[in-house]
Amino acid sequence: MILIHTPAPREVAAYLDLFRTALPQHVFTDLEGLSRPEDVEYVITWGPPPGLFVGMSQLKGVFNLGAGVDRLLQRDDLAAEVPIYRLLDGGMAQQMVEYVRYGVLGYQRHMDIYRRQQTAGVWKMLPPRLPATVRVGVLGLGEIGGQVARALAADGYRVQGWSRSAHTLPGILCHHGPTGLDTVLNESDVLVCVLPSTPQTRGLLDATRLARLPPGAMVINAGRGDLLDLDAVQGLLESGQLRAAQLDVFPEEPLPPAHPLWRHPAVTITPHVAAITLRQEAVEQISANLRRLAEGSEPLGKVTRTQGY
């Protein structure tokens, strides 16, 4: 038996229909139809409630309806030996490319400044800037971050990338390790973060590291909220060291209504929508993995718990 759960009942119903069509040989259920947790072999989920996995003595694996698995790794009701599989894309990479392109292009064309001028009733043209003069640093060069870096390079921006371990991307200068991170920070007019949340990345972009960015830089965070020190961002915006920020993820979501970044004129806030799982894409990928398991093959997207992704 395979259990499907998300916080939205309509979403669960839609997934049930799609999975039953894709894999008619399997039995799928939701929480309402589950009477014996011990019969569950696989769980397909996003945002599982506390205690969801209690009693699932035959659980063979968990499929996450998204790329970020940090919350699954922090649970006390999911045994360490149970494999976790994440979506490698699920239609998210193209959305992430679009989200980041929006921010980088807005920075290049001074749109953030023009919005503030509009509020102040100021009519002032700024000198044009070509993509080749904008240096973009991409933190995170995995399945999604790699596509973001390649797309920006194809747009003509001067792109460098950073990851914890060494990566190679054709035509893009890639760095890794602490020294490499300092290099990317020092040379990024726009810093794009698409890193996962791991013990090594939490709090990575603190006040000291953010201060390495060139004066007038922009930060785009579409990775995880605990990577970025929001107080440091606010302070650097106020001092003018940062020109703008585009933030999609936060340590606490929703971002509390009283938080000052909501009202900061140089900040664009979006509600964790940079890359949303596309249902059909996710069903196809997870169905293919379930077929691999049935054939005795290794599924794609298996999470290495010690790495956090």
Contact 160, 137 (CB under 8 A): yes
Catalytic one of 26, 272, 291, 305? 272
Distance CA 250, CA 247 (A): 8
pLDDT computed for residue 190 by the predictor: 99
> Which is it for the CA torsion 8, 14, 18, 23, positive or negative?
positive
Q: Respond yes or no: is residue 272 known to be catalytic.
A: yes
pLDDT in tens, 186-221: 999 999 999 999 999 999 999 999 999 999 999 999
Q: Can you tell me the distance from the alpha carbon of 83 to that of 32, in angstroms, rounded to the nearest whole number?
A: 25
> Which one of 5, 158, 209, 224 is the catalytic residue?
224
Q: In this predicted structure, what is the pLDDT of residue 246?
A: 98
pLDDT value at residue 57: 97
Mean per-residue pLDDT of the chain: 96
The strand order across the sheet containing 84-85 reads 28-29, 2-5, 42-45, 61-64, 84-85
pLDDT of residue 67: 81
pLDDT at 71: 86
**For the whole prediction, is pTM greater than 0.85?**
yes
Residues of the chain predicted below pLDDT 70: 90
